[in-house]
Structure 1
Amino acid sequence: MRIANDQVAVITGGASGIGFGLAEALAGRGVRLVISDVREEGLAKAGAALAEAGAEVTAVVADVSDEASVRALADRTKSAYGRVDLVCNNAGVVSPAAPLWEQTAHTWELMIGVKVLGVVHGVRAFAPLFIEHGTGHFINTASSGGLAPLPDRTPYTTTMHAVVGLTETLDAELKRISPALGATVLCPGLVDTPLGQNSETLGAIRLPPGTPSSMRAAASGRGGILSPREVAESALAAVEAGRVHVAPGGGVVERARARVAALLTDIEEGGR
């Protein structure tokens, strides 16, 4: 799908991090924006910053884990612009660091509600609008944790793998209707975002006192950490190239290749 001036994009989790990077990148291409987030204060600041930079933006508070809230977001988008061309199901949280048997039911419910059902609700609310207009594309944000194991973050890894499989299947389903419809899953490596702080605000994790406010600060100069804008540009390039997967970041390809190689080895040996 070609991303063009005057199209309309919806971005959940748009107040910060990758969501805000997507908003900036799309605004730079003349796309009109609907950004949403569950954090009202952060959303207002993000909307004001985008508008000050010249973007046409509508900010809508929405909880992606609540189907009615996402349907209201779709209704608001349709009433404001009469169309939608790109939906970025981006909202997310992270799980605590602990082995699976120590993860709580609350963590599982929160992760599934935001990261899996959040994407499901976004697709159910907006896919009919795409189909009605005959064109449209989803970007579903997962993580490199959806391409390979990530010990001590099982709820996070599980939901990221689910978003990868969901998007692959969704793209095939949309393509059966029209080649102008599709979906891309974004699986970045380390990104300089306040995901940890946002997750703590939402009650997903508890950070130790003095925890740095960004991934780059926490990594103490470690290389290979992307900015949200770099991740966003990679995602948009993948959409325009018609790719289902995009995984920017150092070491991501190597981790994915190792997982696939181990998978194939197990399957081949088990079939002998």
Structure 2
Amino acid sequence: MRITNDQVAVITGGASGIGYGLAEALAGRGVRLVISDIREEGLEKAKVSLTAAGAEVTAVVADVGDAASVRALADRTVAAYGRVDLVCNNAGVVSPPAPLWEQEARVWELMIGVKVLGVVHGVNAFAPLFIEQGTGHFLNTASSGGLAPLPYLTPYTTTMHAVVGLTETLDLELKRVAPALGATVLCPGLVDTPLGQNSAALGAIDLRAGVPAAMQDAAARFGEKLSPREVAESALAAVEAGRVHAAPGGDVAERAQARVEALLADIARG
């Protein structure tokens, strides 16, 4: 999908991190924005900043885990602009570092509610609008953890794999309706965002004692952090190229290749 200055984009989790980076990148292309977040104060700050930079922005507080809230977001978008061209299902949280058998049920419920059902609700609310127009694209944020396992972050890794599979299948289903419809999944490596702090605010993890050692070890393995704007530009390039996967980051492709090779080797042994 070619991104042009007459379009409208919706971004969940748009108050900070990758969501805000997407908003900046799209605003730079003249796209009108609807940014959404569950954090009202952060959302207002983001709107003020983007507006000051010249963007046309509508801000809508929404909980992506609530289907009615996301439908209301779609209604607000249509009321404000009459159309929508790109929906970035980006809102996210991270799980605490612990082996699977020590992960609490509430963490699973939050991760699934935000990262999996959040994307499902976004697709259900906006796909009918795309289909009616005959054009439109979903950009669903996952992680490199959706392409290869991340030990001690099983709820996070599980939901990221789900978003990857969901998006791959969604793209096929949309293209059977109309060739100008599609979907892309964003699977970046380590990104310099406040995801940990935001997840703590939502009760997903506890940062009162500092960043857990397992998270620090993971960060060290993944190398240099990407900026949200770098990730956003990579994602939008993939959208414009019609690619289903965007995976910025130094070693993401290598880790994904190692996983696929191990998978094929296991299958071949059978």
Q: TM-score, normalised by structure 1?
A: 0.95
Q: Write the distance in 1 (CA, Å) between the matches of 2:231 and 2:253.
A: 15
Are 2:260 and 1:260 equivalent residues in the alignment?
yes
The aligned runs of 1:143-182 (5 Å cut-off) are 143-182=143-182
Q: Could you say which residue in structure 1 is the equivalent of 2:30?
A: 30
Q: Write the distance in 1 (CA, Å) between the matches of 2:182 and 2:268.
A: 32
Secondary structure of residue in 2 paired with 1:77: helix
Secondary structure of residue in 1 paired with 2:243: coil
Moved over 4 A (4+): none
Q: Could you say which residue in structure 2 is the equivalent of 1:228?
A: 228
The aligned runs of 1:111-150 (5 Å cut-off) are 111-150=111-150
Secondary structure of residue in 1 paired with 2:224: coil
Deviation at 1:173, TM superposition (A): 0.1
Q: Write the distance in 1 (CA, Å) between the matches of 2:219 and 2:127.
A: 39
Q: Write the distance in 2 (CA, Å) between the matches of 1:187 and 1:149.
A: 13
Deviation at 1:70, TM superposition (A): 0.2
Aligned residues: 266
Q: Could you say which residue in structure 2 is the equivalent of 1:192?
A: 192
Q: Write the distance in 2 (CA, Å) between the matches of 1:145 and 1:211.
A: 19
**Amino acid paired to 2:99:** P
Q: Write the distance in 2 (CA, Å) between the matches of 1:219 and 1:126.
A: 35
Deviation at 1:210, TM superposition (A): 4.8
Cα displacement string for residues 58-91 of structure 1 (whole angstroms, at most 9, x for unaligned residues):
0000000000000000000000000000000000
Q: Write the distance in 2 (CA, Å) between the matches of 1:209 and 1:152.
A: 18
Cα displacement string for residues 15-53 of structure 1 (whole angstroms, at most 9, x for unaligned residues):
000000000000000000000000000000000000000
- Once superposed, what is the RMSD of the aligned Cα atoms? 1.6
Equivalent residues of 2:190, 2:219 under 8 A apart: no
**Amino acid paired to 2:93:** V
Q: Write the distance in 1 (CA, Å) between the matches of 2:224 and 2:171.
A: 30
Q: Write the distance in 1 (CA, Å) between the matches of 2:192 and 2:186.
A: 15
Q: Write the distance in 2 (CA, Å) between the matches of 1:169 and 1:10.
A: 21
Q: Could you say which residue in structure 2 is the equivalent of 1:109?
A: 109
Q: Write the distance in 2 (CA, Å) between the matches of 1:69 and 1:249.
A: 33
Q: Could you say which residue in structure 2 is the equivalent of 1:61?
A: 61
Secondary structure of residue in 2 paired with 1:65: coil
Q: Write the distance in 1 (CA, Å) between the matches of 2:224 and 2:184.
A: 23
**Amino acid paired to 2:13:** G
Cα displacement string for residues 99-130 of structure 1 (whole angstroms, at most 9, x for unaligned residues):
00000000000000000000000000000000
Q: Write the distance in 2 (CA, Å) between the matches of 1:13 and 1:177.
A: 28
* % identical equivalent positions: 83
Equivalent residues of 2:147, 2:161 under 8 A apart: yes
Are 2:198 and 1:201 equivalent residues in the alignment?
no
Secondary structure of residue in 2 paired with 1:129: helix
**Amino acid paired to 2:177:** I
Deviation at 1:225, TM superposition (A): 1.1
Q: Could you say which residue in structure 1 is the equivalent of 2:85?
A: 85
Equivalent residues of 2:36, 2:43 under 8 A apart: yes
Q: Write the distance in 1 (CA, Å) between the matches of 2:163 and 2:145.
A: 11
